[in-house]
Amino acid sequence: MIANGTDIGAFIPTINFKVGNDRLNRFIKNAQEEVVRKILGSDLEQILEIPLNEGNSDTHAVLREKTKNAIYYTAFLNAIPMLDLQMSEAGFVVASNQAVSPASRERVDKLINGTALTKSEAFESLHQFLIDNSKTSLSQYASWRGTPQFAHLSGGYVISLREFNSCYIHGDDSIFGNAVTWDYWYDAIPKMNEALVTDIAEYISGEYITELLEKKRDAEPLLAIENGVDYHIGCAVVSAAHDMKDSMVKQAVLARKIMLRNISSFPTFRNSAAYDLPQLNIGDRDNAVANLL
């Protein structure tokens, strides 16, 4: 296993672990499976499971640390309801005796909420690290972009939580409040993908969305004029993730507006059926935003 519990205290220093690893092994194993399934992939899992030879430098030290951090916080979060959480003057203690007072329900609930947030931050950190270190064929983790994990993570168009949260404020659309967690973003991927291919494509064309998404997946630089289109499409899928249909349509129309004004830069869109979309077909519900065209 990548993480075996021997150094969990170094990753979660706010908790005093006084139980054997056998109490946590099942949770650590399940947590590793979750991290591998959602982000890492089997190839990188196998690399990180290769024992390090004493004296040799760890060429995957950063990836290993971020992966273990995600595993340990996931394991601890899932284990909290099953552990004997007690309080001491120094804080929480995970123990198997009654030497100190049991933690109150309120304190345990706060611990669960705080651990869930930290777990989400650990997932985001690992995910963003792999994105940033796989952008070219010479990048250390370039092959990660060919995994089923990356294909799924990029399926909602906005390929990271950082990109998702960057779409939160746009003019009068300051509607989303605080940034969401990685888990919220991950769970919204199917909804964003569905909106992309069934609703947003009506305005932008499925062919051009496919072309743009492949550029993003391959970390290819966009044309300067495409950056605005990319931003509005991203905000459209973010709106869809929040079930905000009107905002989604407005953002799609804003992207379309840029393309129509610079049509020579968008030949794929120009040759698609979406280019000839009559304003009437946008629908009575969308008349207000249709006037932007």
- The DSSP code sequence of 24-84 is THHHHHHHHHHHIIIII-HHHHHHHHSPPPTT---TTHHHHHHHHHHHHHHHHHHHGGGS-
Could you list the beta-strand ranges (E) of the chain: 16-17, 85-88, 91-94, 101-102
> Would you tell me the crossing angle of helices 182-195 and 224-241 to the nearest 10 degrees?
100
Question: Considering its fold, how many domains does the chain have in total?
Answer: 2
The span from the CA of 101 to the CA of 280, in Å, is 69
Dihedral angle computed from the Cα positions of residues 263, 268, 272 and 275, in that order, rounded to the nearest 10 degrees: -20
CA torsion sign for 80, 86, 87, 91 is: negative
- Residue 86's SS3 state is strand
Q: How far apart are CA 59 and CA 135, in angstroms?
A: 18
Q: Of 145, 167, 190, which residue sits at a domain end?
A: 145
Q: What is the reported pLDDT for 220?
A: 95
Q: Last residue of a domain, which of 145, 168, 192?
A: 145
Let me know if residue 2 belongs to a domain.
Answer: no
Check residue 112 and give its pLDDT.
87
**In this structure, are 101 and 199 located in the same domain?**
no
- Examine the fold and report which residue of 125, 145, 165 is the final residue of a domain before the chain moves on: 145
Q: Are residues 169 and 258 in the same domain?
A: yes
Instruction: Verify that 137 and 200 share a domain, yes or no.
Output: no
Could you tell me if 194 and 158 lie in one domain?
Answer: yes
- The one-digit pLDDT tens for each residue of the chain (293 residues) are 788 877 887 888 766 666 555 678 888 999 999 999 999 999 999 999 998 877 788 999 999 999 999 999 999 899 887 776 554 444 454 555 555 555 566 777 888 888 999 999 999 999 999 999 999 999 999 999 999 999 999 999 999 998 998 885 444 444 454 568 999 999 999 999 999 999 999 999 999 999 999 999 999 999 999 999 999 999 999 999 999 999 999 999 999 999 999 999 999 999 999 998 765 344 444 454 445 44
Tell me what pLDDT residue 10 has: 83
Q: Which residues pair with 102 in a beta bridge?
A: 86
Q: Give the length of the chain.
A: 293
| Closest CA relative to residue 254, chosen from 191, 216, 203, 215 | 203
Residue type, 284: D
For 163, residues 6+ apart whose C-beta sits below 8 A from its C-beta are 234
Asked whether residue 136 is assigned to any structural domain, the reply reads yes
Statement to judge: residues 63 and 164 lie in one domain? no
DSSP assigned state of 257: H
Cross-strand pairs, 16: 93
Q: Is residue 199 domain-shared with residue 271, that is, in the same domain?
A: yes
- pLDDT on residue 201: 95
Residue 3 belongs to a domain = no
Within this chain, do residues 28 and 99 fall inside the same structural domain, yes or no? yes
Instruction: Please count the other Cβ atoms lying within 10 Å of the Cβ belonging to residue 189.
Output: 20
Question: Do 167 and 140 belong to one domain?
Answer: no
Do 134 and 174 lie in one domain? The reply is: no
In a domain, 1, yes or no: no
Give this prediction's pTM: 0.85
Residues 103 and 179 in one domain: no
Residues 162 and 181 in one domain: yes
Structural domain harbouring 39: 8-145
Residues 81 and 207 occupy one common structural domain:
no
**Phi, psi dihedral angles at 96 (to 5 degrees):** -125, 25
